[in-house]
Amino acid sequence: MGSFLTPFLHSFPKTEVRHLCQPPKVTATSDFRIETTSQLDTLLDPSQSRPAIELVETPGEIGPGYYRLTPDTNAWLDGLGDGPMLLHIDMDYFNNRFDGDTDWQTRPNLFDPPLDQIISKIDEVVDALRRTGVGARIEDIVVAYSPGFFPAEFWRPAEACLRPALEQLYGH
């Protein structure tokens, strides 16, 4: 997540980020202030610095310049300001069988729910966006199928559920 959000947050430091994540990865809501910084680039050019983000824990504080990580759809949408929204959906939220790990079958706490649970969770997320009115404020939606994380056999049926629900919600 950090690799694609870091440059964005440096350009738009008052962005509020809400991250919905299922157990076992996340089991409770945590809030953080987003601080932009830089650090030495240990990968490409150690003599250069690169943009970085530091998260400073701030329980219960939300708003512009803050990041909330939660497994709860109510906490995910609670207290959002009035501005426009960008919705980015990583499909590994619904099933993260591989988690980028070639030894995924031996990993403890495997997150590999069946298709009916994936569809149910898609319905839950879209319903939360609709019920709270947040969905009407969405300016753009991005869906990442995450091939090293979300199993390919679920792409077509998940898309058949997700796309029409988002189109109805988004109205564009």
- Mean pLDDT value of segment 155-172: 89
Q: How confident is the model at residue 2 (pLDDT cuts 50, 70, 90)?
A: low
What does the mean pLDDT of the chain come to? 92
Which DSSP category does 44 fall into? S
How far is residue 149's CA from residue 123's CA, in Å, rounded to a whole number? 20
Q: How many residues does the chain have?
A: 172
End-to-end CA distance of the chain: 27
What is the number of alpha carbons within 13 Å of residue 111 lying toward its C-beta?
18
**Residues 57-108 pLDDT 10s:** 999 999 999 999 999 999 999 999 888 899 999 999 999 998 888 888 888 8
Numbers of helices and strands, H then E, in the chain:
4, 6
Position 172 confidence tier, pLDDT thresholds 50, 70, 90: low
pLDDT over 70 for what percent of the chain? 97
In this predicted model, what pLDDT tens digit does every residue of 18-50 receive, in sequence order? 999 999 889 999 999 999 999 999 888 999 999
- 142 contacts 90 by C-beta, under 8 angstroms: no
Question: For residue 138, which amino acid is it?
Answer: I
Query: What's the CA gap between 155 and 38, in Å, rounded?
Result: 37
Q: How far apart are CA 4 and CA 164, in angstroms?
A: 27
Residue 53, H or E segment: strand 49-57
> What token pair was written down for 159?
């898309």
- Domain range summary for the chain, segments of one domain joined by +: 1-79, 82-172
